[in-house]
Amino acid sequence: MSLITRNEVPVDETWNLADIFSSEEEWEKAYIQVEKELDEFLKGTIQLDSAKSTLDLLERYDCLMGSYNRTSSYAFYKYSEDGTDPVNQNRMGRTQTLGKKSFNVSTNIVNTFLYLPKKILTKYIDEEKGLLTYHRFLGKVEELRDHSLEPEIENLLASLNQTLDTPNSVYLNITASDLKFEPVKDKSGKEVPVSLFMYMTQIETSPDTVLRRNAYESLTDGLKKYQHGLAQTLSSEVNKNVSIAKLRNYPTTMDYLLHYSSPAANHFYSGDGVSTSFFEEVLDTFQQELAPHMQRYARLRKRQLGLDKLLFSDVKAPLDPEFDPPISYEEAGEIIVEAVGVLGSEYQEQMRKVFTDRWVYRGDNIGRRMIAFGGGVHGVHGYSFYPWGGNLFDMILLGHELGHALHFTLSAQNQNIINNGQSLLFVEAPSTLIEHLIVQYLKDNRDDPRLHRWLNMYSMMSYHHNCVTHILEAELLRRLYKMADQMMPLSTAVISNTKGAILSEFWGETVEIDDGAKLTWMRQPHYYMGLYPFTYSIGTSASTVIANRIKTEGTSVGEQWTNVLKLGGSMSGLDLYRQAGLELSTTDVIKQAIAHVGRIVDELENSF
């Protein structure tokens, strides 16, 4: 069956972007106004000659960044609906130009603060208490002092921002528009279309072994055609970061990626004080302690499915192939709303609005974005993009993305935007927690033993994705950045063979690692996001422990968590976790989560 066009998607399967702008004309007016204000910033002189002028500047800047966020979000969401639409392409292109100006403004402001002696800024804060409103922004600026460059060089780098983002842009454009896969046959002989998104969210976990393996071959054949070009793209991304790390005088590129905060307020992330040694300890802990549980699960899968050998295309196959109950979007919404009740009435009411006020785009049309996401628009609310397939798997993954949307909603409602750059170390905990809560809700409210077993299998799939797939992505990045720091060339063969070696080390003799497995580095945009992949495992570990505490201690833990979400980016990820009663500066929480995975494998082995 061929995909429909954007215009054919029913209204109730689209999101209500009128909450951002009521019409295209309103967006155009906002765009013109934001561009005008950005130009005024760029042409004018930034004055920090008094406490009052400093506060005025921050208030003006904060307001402008909120307006820019709404303008750029609208363009991005429209482009996500259909990237082939010339109107959406034009709007997105114009917004990228706006983004360049926004980045330059942010850089100029940060540079001006860096030029201002710290003792003067401290004096201003003593004189004007209103500056305390922007404590997080000012604190992050201070973190940059030791690695900041001369203002002229910082401005030059800012002007090159779009160029420096080229590897990521090329990857996204190729995977969204150019990369095509041949349709395949399932076990009934029915033709099934193949895309990266549908493979990772539907086919990879399909009970149909014929479909899985055929689609995997189609995926591998399609990826092979682009492997050399995308290897060069990834190599360019890595070497770009190596050069910038040296320019900023970091010992290694990983130190740079874990510490440096971008001057752009809407991407003003913090490294949370995480050291390279901690990063490596997290990777080592998962690979050493989680691998035995996953290998045990792989042997159970091979035995239960009656396979002579377990191919890489089989590692997420369900152990009970006949159990795949469908569910409507409406029923899924009801379950999700009920499941999050343990987080308190305020959180539950926000989740109810997701479904009554159309915060989700779920159409599966030509030109749509390949990867699901959840985000938010400052001054509006959260949105999620999730092409809906109609089974339990979709419901829980939708819940994951809505966890992001509600996190951003609560955060934006309570924080100024220039304070609110989300901690990468924390950002995946609110989303994975919703997965845990849906699973627990269904276990508590459904008596079907087969469903309970499926829910355990889903949990294992989630841990596979967040604590295996992403950790092994981070492991590839660790090895590639160490090679690049030593000036070793990153060819296609080096990247693919390194990925193959990592997979072989983790899975041992339980899974056959073939050429397709070695190309999995081509499937995800995470390699263009610094060391972001490892944060999934941190967030998932934290949410596992929080979910277990909610189960044993009650809703007070959930309400405390909701209050932490309101803190947004106003403190580091480690401090946010401490507010929730978790200490993530050691691997203790991670080890608790890994032990939980072991108990799930025990239950599954016993259930079969």
DSSP string, 342-400: GG-HHHHHHHHHHHHTT-EE---BTT--SS-EEEE-TTS-EEEE-----BHHHHHHHHH
Confidence label for 111 from pLDDT (cuts 50, 70 and 90): confident
pLDDT, position 455 = 95
CB-based burial label for 447 (10 Å; 0-12, 13-18, 19+): exposed
The phi, psi pair for 583, rounded to 5°, reads -110, 105
Sole residue written with tokens 């040296």: 246
Q: Render pLDDT for 161-220 as a digit per residue (tens, 0 to 9).
A: 778 989 999 998 898 888 999 999 999 999 999 988 788 878 998 888 999 999 999 999
Is 32 a residue whose pLDDT tops 70? yes
Report yes or no: 98 and 68 within 8 Å, Cβ to Cβ.
yes
Measured CA distances, 146 to 150, 248, 260, 261 (Å): 12, 9, 10, 12
Q: What percent of the chain has pLDDT over 90?
A: 80
pTM (global) more than 0.85 = yes
The Cα angle at residue 71 between residues 67 and 73, in degrees rounded to 5: 115
pLDDT tens-digit map of 349-382:
999 999 999 999 999 999 998 788 999 999 999 9
Q: Which strand (E) or helix (H) includes residue 103?
A: helix 86-115
- Residue pair 114/145 in contact (Cβ under 8 Å)? The answer is yes
> How many Cα atoms occupy the beta-carbon half-sphere of 268 within 13 Å?
32
Given a cut of 50, whether residue 1 has pLDDT beyond it is no
Q: Which of 346-350, 364-368, 438-442, 472-476 has the lowest mean pLDDT?
A: 364-368
The whole-angstrom separation of Cα 98 and Cα 264 is: 13
Inter-residue contact 284 to 539 (CB < 8 Å): no
Residues 276-305 as b/e (b if ≥16 CB within 10 A, e otherwise) read bebbeebbebbbebbbebbbbbbebbbebb
CB 268 within 8 A of CB 568: no
The per-residue pLDDT of the chain, averaged, comes to 93
Q: Give the span between the Cα atoms of 213 and 194, in whole angstroms.
A: 12
pLDDT of 267 above 80: no
Distance (Å) of CA 487 to CA 244, 395, 477: 14, 46, 15
Predicted local confidence at residue 206, as pLDDT: 86
* Amino acid (one-letter) located at 474: A
Among the ranges given (319-328, 335-344, 405-414), the one the predictor scored with the smallest mean pLDDT: 319-328
**β-strands 184-185, 191-192: how paired?**
antiparallel
Query: Is 492 in contact with 228 (CB distance < 8 Å)?
Result: yes
Rounded Cα distance between 363 and 9, Å, is 6
Question: Hey, how many other C-beta atoms are within 10 angstroms of the C-beta on 605?
Answer: 14
pLDDT computed for residue 467 by the predictor? 94
CA distances from 221 to 309, 310, 370, 512, 528 (A): 21, 20, 18, 18, 23
SS3 62: helix
Sign (positive or negative) of CA dihedral 300, 458, 520, 505: negative
Looking at per-residue pLDDT, the higher value among 499 and 173 belongs to: 499
Q: Give the pairing of strands 382-385 and 360-361.
A: parallel
C-alpha to C-alpha distance for 399 and 201, rounded to whole angstroms: 14
> What domains can you pick out in the chain, each with its CATH number?
6-164 (1.20.140.70)
Q: What is the 3-state secondary structure (H, E, C) of 293-311?
A: HHHHHHHHHHHHHCCCCCE
Q: What is the pLDDT of residue 62?
A: 96
Sign of CA pseudo-dihedral 106, 110, 111, 116: positive
The greatest distance separating any two alpha carbons of the chain, rounded to the nearest whole angstrom, comes to: 75
Residues 6+ apart with CB under 8 A from 108: 41, 42, 46, 155, 158
Query: 397-411: per-residue pLDDT in tens?
Result: 999 999 999 999 999
